[in-house]
Amino acid sequence: MKFVRAVWKLLVGIKDALVLVFMLLFFGVLYVGLSNRPAPISDGVLDLKLSGNIVEQPERAQWADVAGTPQIRDYALHDVIAALDKSRDDARVKAVALDLDSFTGGGQSAMIDVAEAVRRVRASGKPVIAYATGYSDDSYQVAAAASEIWLNPLGAVLVAGPGGSNLYFKGLLDKLGVTANVYRVGTYKSAVEPFIRNDMSPEAKENYQALADVELSNWRDAVIRSRPKAKIDLFLKDMNAAVAAAGGDTAKAALDAGLVDKIADRMEFEAHLAKLGGEGDKDAPFKRIKYSAYVADTDQEASDAQIGVITVAGMIIDGKAGPGTAGSETIAKQIAAAVDDGVKAIVLRVDSPGGSVTASERIRQSLIAAKAKKIPVVVSMGNVAASGGYWVATPADFIYAEPSTITGSIGVFGVIPSFQGMLQKIGVGADGVKSTPLSGEPDILKGPSPEVSQLIQTSIESTYRRFLTIVAQSRHMSVADVDALAQGRVWDGGTARQNGLVDGFGGMSEAINKAADIAKIGKNRGIRYYLPPRSFEDELLSAFSGNPDEREDASEDAFAVLAGRPEQQLAAALGELQAIMSGPTIQARCMECAAALPAPRVKQDPGFAGLVRAWLGL
């Protein structure tokens, strides 16, 4: 009996402890939620202190955010644009401050949309002041649309242009004894090249060089449109000469070239904002309207929505997924929910390099089901809508893209790793029996058999023909004509419009207007954004992840914008390797397109060892 009583006391103690933990957790969440509640908005300067990426769909908060690990924040593109557009006619907003010291970009197409929104604020008569220590391609493209561009005395405008290096793993795989068994269709389908080469093929280099040249030209045109007197070509062709002419002073070189309007430190910048929006208190040098509070105060949806906006962002995968990843079942449910809600049109926003073929087809079929109920579909392409990202766009009645959008990549591939070389290196054998030619296949220990390799390649070719047929039917072209444009080749939005893969240039506003026209919706149209549902864990993480208006202190070294975040670049490269090697057998995906997307978060340990452990599955 003593033992039973002791066990009972232990169980009661555990129960009491759990109750106490949950009570503390509940009241902690309640306190954080109440303390983070946006205060009433008063007159002042709208402070767009962007300390991270602008993305189509921010990822969910992670426990690392709560633990204090430095993270890149994500800002939803439509939130940023909605806040800027609202500020135009909001008497409370006296000016807009673009604090870009910690801004890490968001892709050229997204920057075009943000710059246009900044330009609309400027046209309304309200000053927009940009400030940074170092301006990169993306941040300068946004800043160029502002009324004034301020630069730190120790700063610089550092325009690198599109381009850079990718990692190629053939030598590493050979040393490890890992064989990447590749099956593909498409002369330009270079997603598999990192596993079979140590450098870029001539075909891929030709494709991506042409793409980079077009992207640079589009960036240059956008900047000149905003600042026609700026000597941007001088910086693009020979920045060293411009800096030498300014006596080695990078900030003065930018001022002399007309790229910035004023050289001043942050204290002077904030004092200027106080003149525009009013003096602040001891905690703030100027009256500040916080971005998060202003977004929360911005009503972006109507109760009687007639147009549903559904986002396909990030990797397309089978099943369910949270924001920032396109789970086929999640998106299919969003499409069905929009139909059930009685929307009259759907706008599909695509910002994805593709992924699983079966997931892409699941989304496509959901759109076809919506169209069968007389609901028109208009696609708006963001930075990237390639491979599977183009596959899901094919049911559209009209496709919009920006000139800088990366699209196409109509091709299919599969990769199966096998470890016969590794086993040989360590002296381990592999043997067995078969009851049919496909028993135990694909054999990752001895390598796939010729029979299964032939079967997979046949499936790849069949899927490619299906892809061509889907595109041909959608674009009213012959399969042969689509094949000539396909072969895995990547196109910029301008060329894609010329060759018939997209219908027109424009962003979300043009897509919404087109959807309203097709559905014959009047001016009183409501818009609803369909998002993945938030779980209790999401709410908990959001409550504890800190103030979204506070940022990690930026480096005062202007050249940090060139280096970026090395751990993010390494994480992206190894993440691509891990995703392809462990993903579905047949994929419609554009690997190089990832360069046009914002830097991903580091979801593993930020150190090199943590990244390698994640790749090796340890």
Per-residue burial over 98-116, b = 16 or more CB atoms within 10 Å of its CB, e = otherwise: bbbbbbbbbbbbbbbbbbb
Is 387 a residue of the active site? yes
Helices 108-123 and 202-226 meet at what angle, rounded to 10?
A: 10
Of 126, 189, 252, 514, the catalytic one is 189
Q: Provide φ and ψ at 139, rounded to 5°.
A: -65, -35
List, edge to edge, every strand of the sheet that includes 412-418: 179-185, 412-418, 587-589, 354-356, 316-317, 326-327
Helix (H) or strand (E) holding 505, with range, is: strand 504-505
Helix (H, G, I), strand (E, B) or coil at 310: strand
Q: If you search the block for the tokens 């864990």, which residue do you land on?
A: 537
Q: Which residues contact 132 (CB under 8 A, 6 or more apart)?
A: 99, 100, 101, 103, 139, 143, 150, 151, 152, 155
- Distance between CA atoms of residues 159 and 558, nearest Å: 12
- Distance (Å, rounded) from C-alpha 584 to C-alpha 358? 9
Candidates 190, 387, 409, 542; catalytic one: 387
- The pair of three-digit structure tokens given for residue 194, joined into one six-digit string: 């990192």
Round to whole Å and give the CA distance between 68 and 78. 27
Phi, psi of 10 (to 5 degrees): -65, -45
Strand partners, 279: 286
Verify whether residue 292 is a known catalytic residue: no
What does DSSP assign to residue 105?
A: B
| Residue 366, C-beta contacts closer than 8 angstroms, at least 6 positions apart | 331, 332, 335, 336
Structure tokens at 101: 């010291």
Is residue 503 within 8 A of residue 399, CB to CB? The reply is yes
Distance between CA 99 and CA 52 in Å, rounded? 11
Q: How far apart are CA 461 and CA 473, in angstroms?
A: 18
Active site residues: 189, 387
